[in-house]
Structure 1
């Protein structure tokens, strides 16, 4: 599990990528291609990059997003750690034994002063989840 401080960024991708995911040329960010990710791609436009893409309606802009991976249950889940609320889970994921999984994130390109804030990645402390 890890935490991404997305702050006031206006665009980002965060999630999990498998060692088998294509990282060169045209990339398809879908679970079938080794990516389980959320994206912020416009003013308040959030989506889970499933197949097909799932638009998400969040009541508040998350500042800190927790990414949790459960190999045994086949889950990749995302939580807003400030409000301790669930954002989205990819369920029924198949992770073959020995498959390496890695944090995936993209801060997106800055547009002048917009989206120039950093995307900070850190491990999650257990107390971040407890009230």
Structure 2
């Protein structure tokens, strides 16, 4: 997967190949774009899915704060974005030492250690989004069955 620079919050710095992202304290002076997140620290992939089963892995490198998952292409990009399924985002994240499913309310994920690599499984027709701690080969969280309504989902 490749990250889409047109969607990236101005303080997210993407690598040249679009495979890595990191927080940058300096706000980049880049033009606004209708696809760009202007308040929430988000970025989406260029490639999305409207059918099929997909799996990918994300290296989080024991970051103290991160979130990852999938979002409907129609997700709000302007102003604060509420990261939860009701708003079209299925995600997990870590803040400090606590991993959690980003639901409303959030659900703590009990892991012996913070994951370094998170696997994401999407079954579009089955309405399934699940996350795994790849190194320890254990499930982290699976969302209840969802309906995506034929809309493109973007990592």
Could you report, residue by residue, the CA deviation over 1:79-121 in whole angstroms, capped at 9, with x for unpaired residues? Answer: 0111111000112211112x10011xxxxxxxxxxxxxxxxxx
Q: Contact conserved, 2:99 with 2:114, CA < 8 A, in 1?
A: no
Give the TM-score, by structure 1 length.
0.73
Q: In structure 1, what is the Cα distance between the partners aligned to 2:95 and 2:62?
A: 13
Q: In structure 2, what is the Cα distance between the partners aligned to 1:8 and 1:57?
A: 16
SS in 2 for 1:66: strand
Q: Does 1:10 align with 2:71?
A: no
1:49 aligns with one of 91, 95, 102: 102
Partner residue, 1:118 = none
SS in 1 for 2:64: coil
SS in 1 for 2:86: helix
Q: In structure 2, what is the Cα distance between the partners aligned to 1:60 and 1:8?
A: 9
State the shift of 1:60 in Å.
2.0
Give the TM-score, by structure 2 length.
0.62
Count matched residues: 101
Q: Which has the higher strand share?
A: 1
Alignment of 1:1-131 (within 5 A): 1-42=55-96, 44-97=97-150, 99-103=151-155
Could you report, residue by residue, the CA deviation over 1:23-67 in whole angstroms, capped at 9, with x for unpaired residues? Answer: 11011111010110111011x111101122111111122111001
- In structure 2, stretches of 5+ residues that fail to align are 1-54
- In structure 1, stretches of 5+ residues that fail to align are 104-131
Superposition RMSD in Å: 1.0
Q: Which runs of 4+ in 1 moved over 3 A?
A: none
